[in-house]
Structures are given as structure tokens and as C-alpha cells.
């Protein structure tokens, strides 16, 4: 089943609960929450407080994407705030095997993300320990950027790696996913689709989510 995970980064934060309900009505499967510290990426968003608030407004799984330095310092607080998936960046976690095991010890699903120019080969020793690998298809930090098409080759390499390892992690793609890029991503082998501006930036959030979800359902 292809999973639609709208990102609240592009939502109207003065009305966050209602915006999430609209996405849910349109068929969203997860809610993607982009945490940024202004250090690892050139933007600052929100912390565990907002995760706690989002948890109160939906029963959907929370897919928390940490674009922060020193993620080990914050694992517990994001899991206690309600993260169901917690994804750290390989580029920000020097002790990645310990970080991933810690997330799982605390009862949360563990994800690892790599930026567009980080090769899939860097994941060889960690992928099988994860529940999800997140491939960035934009340079992290902002919504509304253009899709980087070379990432589709990385998806195909990751599918091969998963088969070689006989592993079962989800493959998630994040950045520039809309009606023109979602099907090429699905056909390359993506399981989870993060959609920020194409859903929460749309005039009609419910219809935008439903259109993307229907495209996934009728092609998978």
C-alpha cells in the first residue's frame, strides 16, 4: 500500500488542527512533521511542543523528520511527544547504529534520511536496522522547492540494496512531490510520499490530498 504523508511545513499554523483534519479527510495516511534547528539546515521550525499538539488533533501516525544537529539529545523528547516514526539524518549522526537502536528501544520506528548528494552506498551498514529510509528529493530546509530527478536513480539503488539485504524498511521520498512527480517516484519503488506544498499549499487541501491518494491507489 502506498502511503501519503502530507508535511505540515506548508500548513497554516494559525489553524493547524483544522488543516490536518482536512488532509485526513482527503485520505492522508501519516502526518509528516519537519523539525529544523537552523544549524543542520538554514531554517528553524518547531520542537516537541508542536508534535504534542499535532498528536492531540489526529490519530494518524506522526512521521517526525529531524533536520537537526545532535539528534541523540532529542530522541526521548520527540518520542514522548508522540512520534511514531522518528527519522534522523545520516549526515548529522556520527553514531548512527547506536542512535537507531535507541529509537527502537524506546518503542518508536526508526528512520534514516540522506540528502540529495549523499550516495545510497553510505546506507549499506545501517539500512537493515531501520524501519524506513528517507531519500531527500530537495535540499532540506524549505517547502515548495523543485524535485531533483536524479534521486529516482537512488530509489532504484535502494530497492536493490533492500533486496540484497533481504530487509523490509519502507522507502520514503521527501520534497517536490506533486501530481507530476508522484507516479515516477511510485514506479521507481517508493512506498511513502511526503507532500508539503502540493497538499497544504493547495486552495482545497482535501481535494489535493484525495487526488494524490487516488493516483497512488490506481497505480499501485
Identify the helix (H) or strand (E) that includes residue 187: helix 182-188
Q: Does 130 bind ligand DX5 (CB under 6 A)?
A: no
Quick check: is 174 catalytic? yes
Q: Does 154 bind Zn ion (CB under 5 A)?
A: no
Sketch the per residue contact string, 113 through 152, with Zn ion: x for CB under 5 A, - otherwise: ----------------------------------------
The C-alpha cell that represents 47 in the structure block: 520542537
Applying CB under 5 A, which of residues 28, 41, 62, 65 lies at the interface with Zn ion?
A: 65
Task: Please state, in angstroms and rounded to a whole number, the distance separating the CA atoms of residues 105 and 121.
Answer: 26
Quick check: is 34 catalytic? yes
Task: Please state, in angstroms and rounded to a whole number, the distance separating the CA atoms of residues 184 and 5.
Answer: 17
Which residue carries 511527544 as its cell? 81
List, as one string, the DSSP characters of 121-183: GGGTTTGGG-SEEEEESS-TT-SSPPP-TTHHHHHHHHHHHHHHHT---EEEEESS-STTTHH
* Piece in contact with Zn ion (CB under 5 A), picked from 16-24, 42-50, 59-67, 201-209: 59-67
Applying CB under 6 A, which of residues 45, 87, 99, 195 lies at the interface with ligand DX5?
A: 195
Q: Which residues bind ligand DX5 (CB under 6 A)?
A: 7, 9-10, 32, 34, 65, 67, 138, 140-141, 143-145, 174-177, 194-198
Q: Which residues bind Zn ion (CB under 5 A)?
A: 34, 65, 174
Amino acid at each position: 500500500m502506498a502511503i501519503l504523508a502530507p508535511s505540515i511545513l506548508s500548513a497554516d499554523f494559525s489553524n493547524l488542527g483544522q488543516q490536518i483534519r482536512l488532509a485526513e479527510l482527503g485520505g492522508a495516511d501519516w502526518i509528516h512533521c519537519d523539525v529544523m534547528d537552523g544549524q543542520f539546515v538554514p531554517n528553524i521550525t518547531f520542537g516537541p511542543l508542536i508534535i504534542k499538539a499535532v498528536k492531540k488533533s489526529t490519530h494518524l501516525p506522526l512521521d517526525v523528520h529531524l533536520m537537526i544537529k545532535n539528534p541523540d539529545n532529542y530522541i526521548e523528547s520527540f518520542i514522548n511527544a508522540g512520534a511514531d516514526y522518528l527519522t534522523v539524518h545520516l549526515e548529522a549522526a556520527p553514531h548512527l547504529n547506536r542512535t537507531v537502536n535507541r529509537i527502537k528501544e524506546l518503542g518508536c520506528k526508526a528512520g534514516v534520511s540522506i540528502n540529495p548528494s549523499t550516495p545510497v552506498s553510505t546506507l549499506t551498514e545501517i539500512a537493515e536496522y531501520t524501519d524506513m529510509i528517507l531519500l531527500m528529493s530537495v535540499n532540506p530546509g524549505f517547502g515548495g522547492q523543485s524535485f531533483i530527478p536524479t534521486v529516482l536513480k537512488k530509489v532504484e539503488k535502494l530497492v536493490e540494496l533492500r533486496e540484497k539485504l533481504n530487509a523490509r524498511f519502507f522507502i520514503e521520498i521527501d520534497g517536490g512531490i506533486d501530481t507530476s512527480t508522484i507516479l515516477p517516484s511510485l514506479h521507481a519503488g517508493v512506498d511513502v510520499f511526503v507532500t508539503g506544498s502540493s497538499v497544504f499549499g493547495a486552495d482545497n487541501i482535501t481535494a489535493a490530498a484525495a487526488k494524490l491518494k487516488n493516483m497512488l491507489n490506481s497505480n499501485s
